Amino acid sequence: MPGVVIVGAQWGDEGKGKVTDLLAERAEAIVRFQGGNNAGHTIVRDGEEFKFHLIPSGILYPEKACVIGNGVVLDPRILLEEIEGLKRRGVDVGNLRISANAHLIMPYHVLLDTAGEVKLGKLSIGTTRRGIGPCYADKALRLGIRVQDLLDEKILRKKILAALEPKQHALRELSVQRRKLRKEAGGGGREGGDQSVADAPDPRLDLHTMSEEFAGYGHRLEPHIADTSRLCWNVLDGGGTVLFEGAQATLLDLDHGTYPFVTSSNPIAGAACVGAGVGPTDIDEVWGVAKAYATRVGAGPFPTELDDAVGRHLLERGHEFGTTTGRERRCGWIDLVALRYAVRLNRMSALAITKLDVLSGLDPLRVAVRYRSREGAVFDTFPYHQSILHSAEPEYEELPGFEADLSTCRSEADLPPQARAFLDFVAGFAGVPIRLVGVGPGRDQVVWIGDEPHLRAA
Ligand code: IMP
Please name which of 392, 433, 374, 414 lies closest in space to residue 302, comparing C-alpha atoms. Answer: 392
DSSP labels, 253-265: -TTTSSTTSS-SS
Using CA of residue 324, residue 304, residue 382, residue 426, what is the dihedral sign? positive
Query: Quick one: pLDDT at residue 189?
Result: 43
pTM (2 decimals)? Answer: 0.92
Please tell me if the CB atom of residue 360 comes closer than 6 angstroms to any atom of ligand 1.
Answer: no
CB neighbourhood size of 413 (10 A): 8
* 3-class state of residue 159 by DSSP: helix
Please tell me if the CB atom of residue 267 comes closer than 6 angstroms to any atom of ligand 1.
Answer: no
Please tell me if the CB atom of residue 295 comes closer than 6 angstroms to any atom of ligand 1.
Answer: no
**Ligand 1 site-directed mutation target among 13, 37, 38, most atoms within 8 Å of CB:** 38
Query: Quick one: pLDDT at residue 153?
Result: 94
Please tell me if the CB atom of residue 132 comes closer than 6 angstroms to any atom of ligand 1.
Answer: yes
Query: Quick one: pLDDT at residue 172?
Result: 80
Phi, psi of 8 (to 5 degrees): -80, 135
Query: Quick one: pLDDT at residue 58?
Result: 85
Question: Which segments within 136-256 are labelled E, that is strand?
Answer: 225-226, 242-245
The span from the CA of 439 to the CA of 458, in Å, is 25
Task: Please list the active-site residues.
Answer: 13, 41
Residue nearest to atom 20 of ligand 1 (CA): 12
Query: Quick one: pLDDT at residue 187?
Result: 58
The span from the CA of 249 to the CA of 253, in Å, is 7
Task: Report the b/e string of 234-266 with b at 16+ CB within 10 A.
Answer: ebbeeebbbbbbbbbbbbbbbebbbeebbbbbb
CA torsion angle for 275, 276, 280, 282 (degrees, to 10)?
A: -160
Please tell me if the CB atom of residue 264 comes closer than 6 angstroms to any atom of ligand 1.
Answer: yes
| Beta-sheet pairing, 293-296 with 330-335 | antiparallel
Tens of pLDDT along the chain (458 residues) come to 599 999 999 999 999 988 998 999 999 999 999 999 999 888 777 888 888 899 998 898 989 999 999 999 999 999 999 999 999 999 999 999 999 999 999 999 999 999 899 888 889 999 999 999 999 999 999 999 999 999 999 999 999 999 999 988 888 877 777 777 777 777 544 434 444 444 556 777 899 999 999 999 999 999 999 999 999 999 999 999 999 999 999 999 999 999 999 999 999 999 999 999 999 999 999 999 999 999 999 899 999 999 999 999 999 999 999 877 788 999 999 999 999 999 999 999 999 999 999 999 999 999 999 999 999 999 999 999 988 999 999 999 999 999 999 999 999 999 999 999 999 999 999 999 999 999 998 889 999 998 765 444 33
DSSP letter assigned to residue 391: H
Q: Describe the crossing of helices 132-141 and 107-120 by its angle, rounded to 10 degrees.
A: 110
CA of 305 to the centre of ligand 1 (A): 17
Q: Confirm if 315 and 108 have CB atoms less than 8 A apart.
A: no
